[in-house]
Structure 1
Amino acid sequence: MQTQLMTPHERDQLHSLIREKLDLGGAEKIEDTTLVRELPGVDSMKLLGLLGAVELGFRVNLGFEAIPQVRTVRDIEQLICDSREQYASRVS
């Protein structure tokens, strides 16, 4: 099964969510390889809130097992894509 990729608009949306939920403001540079847990002020509650916002914003179900899988921003993108693929395979 081929992994779906996020559009540039969706990637911008994800970066905005990260900035908002982790209280980063616009100064912090966010790249695919950014280590989420090393961003300023990140703690487990903020990470949980971020993943909840990702679920709502992208209409996906990540589940609690996603928490330890998140190291980089790319990991969050991959979780979104994986969730979409799982949904698509259940529907078809």
Structure 2
Amino acid sequence: MDTRLPPPERAQLYALIREKLELSGAELDDTTAVRELPGVDSVKLLSLVGAVELGFQVNLGFEAIPLVRTVHDIEQLVCDSREQYATRAS
């Protein structure tokens, strides 16, 4: 199972995180604790998950919210959703 997005999609994910969490110039990496970023609350986290679903055309659902701890967790959720879709489609 591939748990990494290609570099252009990873850049898109990081830009989306910065936009939805209002972190204009924040440095992000795989280990960044999303919930500990300045100003992050449950509404922003919900908005982020929704934006990730739309931006990456995946279905994460509300159950994804408690799974989001780090930036890598979000990337992992996208990859897992794509793999589940590919498995069902084949």
TM-score of the superposed pair, with normalisation by structure 2:
0.97
The RMSD of aligned alpha carbons is: 0.8
* Runs (4+) off by over 4 Å: none
Cα deviation 1:43-62 (Å, max 9, x = unaligned): 00000000000000000000
- Among 38, 61, 67, the alignment partner of 1:69 is 67
What amino acid sits opposite 1:16 in the alignment?
A
Q: Distance in 2 between matches of 1:34 and 1:4?
A: 16
Deviations 1:31-74 (A, max 9, x none): 01000000110000000000000000000000111000000000
Shift of 1:4: 5.0
Name the TM-score, length of structure 1 as normaliser: 0.95
Q: How many residue pairs are counted as aligned between the two chains?
A: 90
In structure 1, the gaps of 5 or more residues are none
Aligned counterpart, 1:14: 13
Percentage of identical aligned residues: 71
